[in-house]
């Protein structure tokens, strides 16, 4: 059986709209989904508000982590045929009304700032542009609450930034579809890209698949994900109200997410393998000044300890003395860097020894017509602003490439 998307629906008791949403799913033969009944559960209002960008009503539907909307949105998706396409019920339909194969000038894989900036530039250049969002619209930014360092947004909110980027790209004609690429064929043009349930032919491709949190790879870590172990403070922080949590790592992400956790937790202990933080000085100063934050230096976590109720502690090792001990904690937040999402491109695009795509200064990969942008090709800066910049550059290069292929004059520098 092929890939099946994961559908999650938030519902409550005595909710006719929830029944309507479930009836729509049933009518499409979708019975294998996760229902979260929020009745009597604490923190749900905040969770739903965050996931939906401010709503706190039900039903709310998510597919592979991407926000779909309420029962009306689900109905629209069902009526357009998109829902069936996503669940692979009609392999021959691309959902675009053009026949079996969706043909595009530019296909952008990924919907973080790199992908969405590329979409804006490609669409403005009047190229027939499709963005396949991947599992999370907005990529890593969708896991962040505030953005302090994106110019032009003085009180920046990550959710708004991503939404505005999407709307802006759409305004110029870019199509943005939920879709998860399962296979790429870059051996000839047009390039052929498969998702579950659809096939796309693209004259050029911009890869903006970003990166995902690195795991510690220690005993117990994966056993307690969602039950005490987390890679996202903004997602799971509210479950740790008045609890004691630890954060593993010493970079910007660890310290920033640790600071975020102080909104909920009683104490946040940063466990770092060295005796000083890697995070930038301004954020360090805020952390060191915060009375809820504590620090364990020169220490690594060697195991997550837990029982059937979830994680209750970690095993620690002092890297200088070698001494080991147990440390009680209610939550373990892990921020030890990222790994690029490039599995799909193994053997198809050139990568460095860490698995990042190799792109030149103009975002070209080693396959003509395939470009890379954002974190998938950048392990140095990894900022929303630099990702967006490389996305724009990749789209300009795609436009030039297509013009060259068509024998037209190249567009002037933008
Ligand atoms: P980083 O690579 O910067 O930091 C990873 C941290 O994890 C380091 O402190 C590292 O220790 C530690 N670490 C790595 N592997 C292990 C391990 N196996 N065991 C224990 N500790 C480990 O990753 P981040 O995700 O923090 O940041 C990535 C990039 O994103 C950076 O460029 C950062 O500036 C940027 N970023 C920017 C933000 C902002 O500006 N608002 C927010 C978040 C990220 P050591 O220090 O010893 O190497």
pLDDT tens profile 37-48:
887 788 887 888
Q: What are 256-308's pLDDT values in tens digits?
A: 999 999 999 999 999 999 999 999 999 999 999 999 999 999 999 999 999 98
Ligand 1 center from residue 232 Cα (angstroms): 14
Contacts 24+ apart (CB under 8 A), 316-319: 316/271, 319/273
Region 7-86: CATH code: 3.40.30.10
The protein residue whose alpha carbon is closest to atom 36 in ligand 1 is: 252
CA 190 to mean position of chain CA atoms: 28
The protein residue whose alpha carbon is closest to atom 34 in ligand 1 is: 252
The active-site residue, picked from 57, 232, 318, 366, is 232
Distance from first CA to last CA of the chain, Å, rounded?
Answer: 46
128 vs 399: CA distance, rounded Å: 11
Concatenating the DSSP letter of every residue in 218-248 gives -TTTGGGBTTTEES-HHHHGGGGTT-EEEEE
110 lines ligand 1 (CB under 6 A): no
**Quick check: is 236 catalytic?**
yes
Give the residue carrying structure tokens 């559908």: 7
- Whether the CB-CB separation of 18 and 59 falls below 8 Å is answered with yes
249 lines ligand 1 (CB under 6 A): yes
315 vs 327: CA distance, rounded Å: 6
246 lines ligand 1 (CB under 6 A): no
With vertex at residue 237, the alpha carbon angle to CA 232 and CA 6, rounded to the nearest 5 degrees, is 50
251 lines ligand 1 (CB under 6 A): yes
The protein residue whose alpha carbon is closest to atom 29 in ligand 1 is: 382
How many CB atoms lie under 10 A from the CB of residue 281?
A: 8
The protein residue whose alpha carbon is closest to atom 14 in ligand 1 is: 336
Mutate which of 143, 249, 282 for ligand 1? The one with the most ligand atoms within 8 Å of its CB, which is: 249
**Domains in the chain: boundaries:** 7-86, 101-212+338-406, 222-334
Instruction: Report helix, strand or coil for 266.
Output: coil
CATH class of the domain comprising 101-212+338-406: alpha beta
CA 184 to mean position of chain CA atoms: 20
- Whether the CB-CB separation of 349 and 184 falls below 8 Å is answered with no
Task: For residue 122, give both structure tokens.
Answer: 């490609």
The active-site residue, picked from 57, 146, 235, 298, is 235
**Quick check: is 235 catalytic?**
yes
Region 222-334: CATH code: 3.50.50.60
336 lines ligand 1 (CB under 6 A): yes
Atom of ligand 1 nearest to the CA of 380: 32
Concatenating the DSSP letter of every residue in 275-301 gives SS--S-HHHHHHHHH-TTEEEE-SEEE
Enumerate residue ranges in the chain where pLDDT < 70: 1-2, 14-16, 54-56, 79, 90-100, 135-137, 142-146, 158-159, 196-197, 235, 408-414
Topology alike, domains 101-212+338-406 and 222-334: yes
The active-site residue, picked from 102, 105, 236, 378, is 236
Q: What are 198-251's pLDDT values in tens digits?
A: 899 999 999 999 998 899 999 999 888 777 898 888 767 777 889 999 999 999
């Amino acid at each position: 059986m092929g890939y099946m998307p994961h559908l999650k629906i938030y519902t409550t008791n005595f909710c006719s709209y929830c029944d309507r949403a479930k009836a729509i799913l049933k009518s499409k033969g979708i019975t294998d989904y996760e229902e979260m009944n929020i009745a009597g559960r604490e923190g749900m209002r905040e969770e739903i508000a965050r996931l939906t960008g401010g709503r706190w009503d039900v039903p709310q539907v998510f597919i592979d982590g991407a926000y779909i909307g309420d029962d009306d949105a689900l109905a629209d998706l069902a009526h357009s045929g998109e829902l069936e396409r996503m669940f692979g019920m009609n392999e021959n339909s691309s959902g675009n009304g053009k026949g079996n194969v969706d043909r595009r000038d530019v296909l952008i894989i990924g919907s973080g700032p790199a992908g969405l900036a590329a979409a804006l530039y490609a669409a403005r250049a009047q190229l027939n542009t499709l963005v396949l969002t991947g599992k999370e619209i907005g990529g890593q930014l969708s896991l962040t609450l505030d953005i302090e360092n994106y110019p032009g947004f003085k009180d920046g909110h990550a959710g708004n930034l991503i939404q505005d980027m999407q709307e802006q790209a759409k305004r110029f004609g870019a199509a943005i579809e939920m879709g998860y690429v399962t296979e790429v064929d870059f051996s000839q043009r047009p390039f052929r890209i498969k998702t579950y349930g659809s096939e796309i032919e693209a004259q050029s491709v911009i890869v903006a698949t970003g990166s995902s949190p690195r795991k510690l790879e220690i005993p117990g870590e994966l056993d307690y994900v969602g039950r005490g172990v987390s890679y996202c403070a903004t997602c799971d922080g509210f479950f740790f109200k008045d609890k004691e949590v630890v954060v593993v790592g010493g970079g910007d992400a660890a310290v920033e997410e640790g600071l975020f956790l102080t909104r909920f937790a009683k104490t946040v202990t940063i466990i770092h393998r060295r005796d000083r933080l890697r995070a930038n000085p301004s954020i360090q100063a805020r952390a060191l000044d915060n009375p809820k934050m504590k620090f364990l230096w020169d220490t690594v976590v060697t195991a997550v300890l837990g029982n059937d109720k979830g994680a209750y502690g970690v095993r620690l090792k002092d890297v200088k003395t070698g001494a080991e001990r147990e440390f009680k904690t209610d939550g373990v937040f892990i921020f030890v860097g990222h790994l690029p999402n490039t599995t799909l491109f193994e053997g198809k695009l050139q990568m460095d020894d860490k698995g990042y795509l190799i792109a030149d200064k103009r975002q070209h990969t080693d396959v003509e017509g395939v470009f890379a942008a954002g974190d998938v090709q950048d392990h140095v800066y990894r900022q929303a602003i630099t990702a967006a910049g490389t996305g724009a550059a990749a789209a300009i290069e795609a436009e030039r490439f297509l013009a060259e292929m068509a024998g037209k004059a190249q567009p002037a520098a933008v």
